[in-house]
Structure formats: structure tokens, C-alpha cells
Chains A and B, each alone.
Chain A
């Protein structure tokens, strides 16, 4: 949309301040499409399973539609220039996630997850609306960066005091709901990293020792680096203690990406990769839980050859393979064979089996668009904090999708993580809605800036890449 916008501005060059088209109509149309697609999926499940449209179809459609519409109204009211793709993508992914969970619920009559997920989705959209309505300017967050980091660490530490679930201490249970505080910590840490790096990026980039006399490979001084490495070490330490390797990997990736973007020093990448390699080897060798995951990744069928039946990863691979190019159709696959975590970490296998490579690619492209829109907002913004925050939030989505999707398809060792919006898990859905809300706020800022005459517009903002 930006490209079209700039062209339009260029054509109207004489007029000093022609606002960029706000595209709220397009957003509404796309939301309608997203809701209809989700309802269609819901009906397809019922038709495939029992030959009838499920009784809840109308209610489901209405519920999702009302949620999306209210969110849309909030955007219209307070972020009228926001990117029109962000909200529809969120609605569509959340809708498809609900369909997939509903579909898997049919296989586990005693354990229905879709109604709870719908409640959490409602909470997520509510949070989205609150953020869009109350947060008028993202720069406010910069002021609370240290509050954010304290809150993030508190959230990360909290589950240590609760009993571990399935080998990982990442849940806390309150009143029947289990919450994964680490999910919320992601956003808070992104805010802190963005704020800290925005404030100190000059110092980080231009002071420090050179390594091997190279201009590019330059290590920053300990004084600047100290606090941030400390925070990072602390969070990663907590995560290793809690055995949540996926989130640990995510934080690490986020940290390196933001450092690189803020300073432009390839030295950071070198240091990052070195740290990653050392960490990966150490943890992979020493930690039995992680070591097993690496073994599984290298030999997914070892348990079959040993006569112990297929493990989760091989069941997941079977599911993807059974889908083939076009899939079995919603409701007709057997991804439930994966067993435990079929609705959460392995939800993508259901999409892969029932929607095929075509559907899976569509989902990946939706995530890709979401990330791209975040990066585009980052490019268009002028303030360093905003740019870093947009890049950080978009990178969280990108890294998370890669880590979990790569894990269940055997590309990288499997680490437990929620597929954004799709997977069962309340904290994750709420967090993702918060991310979309922040991106809406950031893109609103970015795009309303683009509305000013060309000469005043930032030189690098108008040629955003796709």
C-alpha cells in the first residue's frame, strides 16, 4: 500500500499535505473475508465429519465477526492510518486456529479446548482494543523501559515457584486457567531492548575496541555492554532452569537482531553466533532433555526401528506427508495420532495434513506478510525506539514461527513453543494480539507521517521493500 501511496502523493505534488489513503474500507473488507473463511472452515469440518453444518457455526461466525468488528472500530477511532493488513491477518490466523482446535476436539470428546481458546481470544482482542485506545503514542513506552524489564524478569521467575508440567516449569495455574508468563515477557523484553538500544546505540556503535584491526569487527566497551548482557544472561538462565528452550532461543535471536539493527556492527553477529554455538553445544550435550530432542531430530525414526513405536516427531512427519500437496480436507486427517500437544505445539501438523502444502504455504505467507508489515512500519518510522520496537515485535513473530514450524517439520531440533495465533494456549493468543496492537499503533504513526509532503518525508521511508 505504501508504494501506491507514494505514487499518489507524487502525482499530487503541488498540494502540500495530501493525506495518505487510510484504507480502512479495505481493512473492513479483508476482515469480512477472514471471518467468512474461518466460518467456512468450521462448516467444512462439520460437513466432513457428520455431513451437517455444525450447530454452533452461526454463533461461532457471529462471535468472531463481532470481535473483529469491534477491533476494527477501535482502529478506525484511534489509529485511522494504520496498516490495513495487520488486523485481518490476526483475525484470519486466530479464526483458523479456532477451527483447527475445534476439529481436534472432535477426536478428544473428554477434553474440549476450543471454548477456552475462544474465551482467551476474546481477552486478546479486548487487550488489543485497550492498547489501541489507550496507547496514543508508542514513545510513552520508552519511559517505562525499566519497569518493563523488571516485570519481564518477575514473570519469567514466577513459574519456578509452581510445579513443573510435562518437564517444563513455565506454567502457573490460577483458578483453572494455566498461564505461561514467559509469553507476556516477550513483549516486555522487546520494549526494554528497543528503549535501551535506542538510547545507547551511538555509544554501542562507535566506541569500543577493534578486533584484528578491522573496522567492522569492533567490540563495544564493557560499560555499555554490561547491563544488557546481564539482563540477557539472567533471562536465558531463568529459561534454561525452566527448561523452556524455545523461548530461550527466541530471546537470544531477538537480542542479536536488535543489536545488529541498532548498531549495524557485524561484530555483534559474530559474537552472537559464537555465543549461540557455544550455548547450543553445551546445552545439547549436557542437558538430557535437550540432548534427546537433538537425537530425535537427527534420527526421527529411531524409536520405530527400536520397536518402540513412532515418537511425536515421526507422527508429525507422517501427518505432513499424509497431507501431500493438497491435503486430506478439514476433519479428514489423523493428526491426533501425535497425541499429547497435538492442539498446541503440533497444531501445524493438523494444518499440514488437512490443508496440504497449499494450505501450509498460505499460512506461512500470512505470517510472512505480518512480519513484512511490521518491518515496513519500522522502516517508515523516524524515531529509533519506534523503529527498533517494530523490528523487534515483527522478529518475535518471525523467529517464533521458524522455531516451532521448523521443529515440527524436522528442519531444526524440536523446542516446545506455540504457533502464533494457531496453537492452543491463552497466554500466547493474548500476547500475539498485544503484538498486533502495538504494530497497529506503530504503523499508524508511520503511515500518518508518510502523509506529509514528499520533501519532508524521510528519504529512506518511501522505498520500502516488499
Chain B
């Protein structure tokens, strides 16, 4: 019997060995594939198991993390959520992330290997580090001015610092509170579906993700191309412009909103926003020059990241003369994001140089040590400095005595251009009111701010809506806020 007991014992030992070998298989050799299985909730739990890093404006966090004590522990909170939503986006446990929350997720969620003091090791260990912070280029005062200026009307504001490309304000209205989407559960699902059903599209970031026909504000660009190409040498020389202007090769007659546009010099045509003059100017400048200027300003670039992607602003390069004429006054297939038009104004203010706009000044570890810095995008010369100087003069005239007087700020030099863009089938839609401008304080050495404002549906009749009336006051408030607030050198 002893021998058989030993055999049975040996059998039990075999069972034990089988268990140990199998446990090693599961826990060591096959573990990575189980860890990466999409149905394994542990990655999600780990992601929400620590407070998310914050997004900072003027040194103050505009985000936070709320400890729910639930399975997915930390939920995103937002201070002034609707105001900053076009910058932060949302970070939802159910619906993912957007905008800065999305493009800087590695830093905020603590998975970016650069957050580790020992980057190489962390890359191997796939550990999670305390979430880092994202310091934005925004100026709180400018953002507030833009948000309050739009006051819920459909539209958008983008403001940038011309000399650097820092984005100082980025507002879209109507907006939404991203904290409504932070958690999980039925209330979040309800918010999600109602936001998606809303006809006003509150989650659409109009400042960077929607393109509008730029209308008359595009004349800045047409003027720049014409001056650079030498089509016009003297701002005060009479142009040979008929009113109305028959589009080349067609019988369509283009007219003006204002009187006395016939043969007016460029300076006056700009001030009064004469369509006929600029349509003809665009045709005379030619597709090639117009296209290259537009591209230099940033049009037809689908790859702009600030760091989240920006919708492509378009200037059609395959057009006949009639289409070119319309394109040159910001109609036909010409479309631009508000951010793109702010870049146009900024280029004028900055001697013709276009700085790549950016929203993230730097990212830091939780300790404050810098992980990466922004603002290293390419610089392009969109027009000659002399052209920029002439355009500045003309834009200043618009604010001093033309359609943009609402943007005038005492103690500062302000240049601007209004626009009232028609759209819709047969131009039946309520026109978009545009205003693009820049400002330099009298004591400043450089221009401090360039702004683009678009208001989609100011509650007004078609005749009354205008860039000067609806959009210029908002631009003025934003510029004033930037000029008054301390400079951003401390960032």
C-alpha cells in the first residue's frame, strides 16, 4: 500500500505543478495580451484613478478633478466651462476627449513618458505618473471680453498676439458646459444627446472648426496681393474701376452697398469697402499672385495644429476670371475660420510676417518642471514690409473715419476692416457680420493684439446687420482688455 500512496502523492504533486505552470503562463507570458484586451476595464480605471492634470489660464487652473469615490474615481470639473469650452473641450468618461483635453491627453492623464524623471524606464514599465499641467497662452481678460461681447449670439472670436502667434482669446457661441459630459451614467448620456440634437450646435468650435465666407475682410488680402504684385503703387491714385462692374466673361453686374465707388483710389475703396474696385483688382492681380498670397497667409493649409486641428480655410486656385473676381471680395469658394482672419490682421500688424498660432505655452509635470514648450511653428512672410505699412495706414483709416469707427480706442492705434458676408441660396441667409482688427498702445513698441470677430445672426434685419455695428464693438472690447492687462512675459 505504501508504494501506491506514493504514487497518489506523486499525482497530487503533478496537479500542483500544473497549477503553477498554468499560473505562470497567465500571469507572465500571456499577461500583456490580456492587459491590452479592449474589454479589460483596468486601463480605464487607472486613467480615472488619479486626478487629471489641469489646464491653466493666466496661471490659474480653469479645470479641476472631483473625487466621486466611484469605480471611475475622478471626474473632470470646469471653472467657467462654457467660456473656455472652445479651448479645453471636454474630458468625458463616456465620450472621450476633445480639443486641448484630447491633444494634451498624454500629459493631463499622466501617460506621457516625458512626465517621468526617468523617461526611458517609464517607457518600458508603462506606468502612470501624476497628471501634468497645460499652460495656455490665453489672456483671461480677453477671453472674458470676447465671451461677454458675443453674449450668446451665434459667432466666434479669435485673438492672437501678432509678434508671437500666441492665441489670446478663442471663443465660440453658443457654448456648453463641458462638465455636463465629464462623468458617466444617465445624466451624462442625456446631456450628450441633447447637445448633439441642438440645432445651434453648441459643441461646434466656431473659432477654429467652422469656415465662413470672409466677405469684405478678405479685401485686406486682395489689397496685399495687388500691392505686392505692383498692380497698385499709390494708394491715392485713381483706379480705373467702373461701377457697376461686369464680371469678365459674364453679364453679371457687381454693385456696391455704398455710393461713389467709381474710379476711387484704393485708400477710399478700402475705407468704403467698394466691391467693384476689389473685384477688378483681384482679376488684374491674377490667380497666381492671389493664390500665393492666400497660401502665405495660411489659406489652403489642412495641417495647422494649435495643437488641436484647425479647419482648412480655402481660396480656390482653379477659377475663371469671374470666379476670381468674386473670390477676391471673399465670396465664391473663399472661406475662412475666424482664427485665419485673425492671422491676416496679425500679419498686417507684424510687418507682413505670419506667425504660426499656438495655444499651449508649455506643459509641465505636476511639480511644475517644464516638459515641453510651444511656439516653435514656422514663420512666413505673407507680404513685403512696405505693403504691410500701407495696409496698416488703410486699416487705421477705416477705424478713424470709415466703417469701423466702433473699434476706436483712445490712447491706442487701431486698424480694422469690416465685412458683411452674404451667404445661403441666392444670398438669402442672414449675412455674417465680420470685423478684423489689430491694436497697438501708444506706449507700446509693437502691436499687441489682432482680432477677428464673426457674428452669425445678430437679431436684426438684413439691412442693419454689419461688421461695424455688430462685430466691431466686440473686437474693441477684446483689444482693450489685452492692452490694459499686464503683458504676458510672466508666463
Contact = CB atoms under 8 A, between A and B. Distances in A.
Interface of A: 257, 260-262, 264, 301, 304, 309-310, 314, 317-318, 320-325, 334, 337, 352, 356-357, 360-361, 364-365, 367-368, 371-372, 375, 378-379, 384, 387, 391, 394-395, 398-399, 401-402, 405-406, 409-411, 460, 465
Contact of B26 (A317, A365, A378, A379): A317
A360 B4 contact: no
B91 to A, nearest CB: 21
B26 A410 contact: yes
B27 A411 contact: no
9 contacts: A257-B11, A310-B37, A337-B41, A365-B16, A375-B8, A379-B5, A387-B1, A409-B22, A411-B22
A81 to B, nearest CB: 20
Contacts of A314: 37, 39
Given A364-B16, A371-B12, A304 B38 contact: yes
B73 to A, nearest CB: 12
Contacts of A371: 9, 12, 16
Interface stretch (B28-36, B55-63, B195-203, B465-473): B28-36
Given A360-B23, A387-B5, A401-B19, A395 B37 contact: no
Interface string B138-161: 000000000000000000000000
B78 to A, nearest CB: 28
B367 interface: no
Contacts, number: 129
B23 A318 contact: no
Interface in B280-307: none
Contact of A260 (B4, B15, B22, B26): B4
Interface string B1-25: 1111111110111011011101110
B27 A325 contact: yes
Nearest to B21: A411
A318 B26 CA distance: 9
Interface residues of B, number: 36
Nearest to A323: B27
Nearest to B14: A402
B39 A391 contact: no
Contacts of B31: 320-322, 324
Given A304-B39, A318-B34, A357-B23, A402 B5 contact: no
A330 B327 CA distance: 68
Nearest to B33: A321
Contacts of B487: none
A460 B2 CA distance: 7
Contact of A361 (B13, B18, B23, B35): B23
Contacts of A367: 16
B40 interface: yes
B190 interface: no
B127 to A, nearest CB: 12
B26 A394 contact: no
A317 B27 CA distance: 9
B27 A320 contact: yes
Given A318-B34, A322-B34, 20 more contacts: A260-B4, A262-B1, A304-B37, A304-B39, A309-B39, A317-B26, A321-B31, A321-B32, A322-B35, A324-B27, A334-B42, A360-B23, A361-B23, A372-B9, A379-B2, A387-B1, A391-B8, A398-B12, A401-B15, A409-B19
